[in-house]
Amino acid sequence: MDVSGIDNWKPARRALLVAAWGKGREHRDYLHPPLDLYRLKRSLDEVGISNEVYDPNLSADPHAGFLTAVRNARADIVGFSTNHYSLPFDLSLAHHLYRNIGPHVRMVAGGIGCTESHELALRYAPPGLVVVRGEGDLVLPALCAASDPRSVPGLAWVQDGKIVTSEPQKPLSRNQFVGAITGMDWEAIPFEDYWKIILRHHDPSMLIEQNVNTIRVIVSSYCPRGCRFCSSTNIYRLAGFEGNQAVFRLTPTETLGILKRLIWAHPDVMNFFFHDDDFLWSAPWVKELCALIADCRMEGSIPDYITFMAQGSVRNIPQVASELASANFKLIGLGVESFSPKVLREFNKPQRPRHIHDAVDALLKAEITPYVNLILSSPDSKVDDLLITLRESIKLLRKGASVAASVYTLAFPGAEMTAGADEDRLVTYEEFPIEGTDLNIRMTDKILPRDTLLRAVLERSEMILADLDREFFSGEGAFRSMLAPLTFHAITRSLEESGVSVPDDIRKAMREYTVEPSGVELP
Cβ neighbours around 485 below 10 Å, total = 23
> pLDDT value at position 515?
44
Query: Can you tell me the distance from the alpha carbon of 519 to that of 469, in angstroms, rounded to the nearest whole number?
Result: 9
pLDDT at 514 over 50: no
- pTM, 2 dp: 0.93
Distances, alpha carbon 240 to alpha carbons 83, 172, 245, 340, 353, in Å: 18, 14, 12, 34, 36
Highest mean pLDDT among 19-28, 354-363, 513-522: 354-363
Q: Where in the chain is the domain with CATH 3.40.50.280?
A: 6-165
Residue range 125-156, pLDDT digits in tens: 999 999 999 999 999 999 999 999 999 999 99
Start-end of CATH 3.80.30.20 domains in the chain: 174-445
Paired strand residues for 217: 274
6-165 CATH pick, 3.40.30.10, 3.40.50.300, 3.40.50.280, 2.30.110.10:
3.40.50.280
Q: Sorting pLDDT into bands at 50, 70 and 90, what band is 477?
A: low
Backbone angles phi, psi at 118, to 5 degrees: -65, -30
Work out the average pLDDT over 162-180. 95
CB-based contacts of 152-158 (< 8 A; 24+ apart in sequence): 154/239, 154/240, 155/130, 155/131, 156/118, 156/119, 156/122, 156/130, 156/131, 157/6, 157/122, 157/129, 157/130, 157/131, 158/122, 158/125, 158/127
pLDDT given for residue 482 in this prediction = 61
pLDDT at 484: 77
Whether pLDDT at 23 is above 60? yes
β-pair partners for 446: 410
Say whether pLDDT at 221 is over 70. yes
Give the strand pairing for 307-312 and 329-337: parallel
pLDDT of residue 426: 98
| One CATH from 3.30.360.10, 3.80.30.20, 3.30.70.120, 3.40.50.300 for 174-445 | 3.80.30.20
Ranges 15-19, 207-211, 486-490: which has the least confidence: 207-211
The string of pLDDT tens digits covering residues 324-369 is: 999 999 999 999 999 999 999 999 998 899 999 999 999 999 999 9
pLDDT tens for residues 484-500?
788 888 999 999 999 99
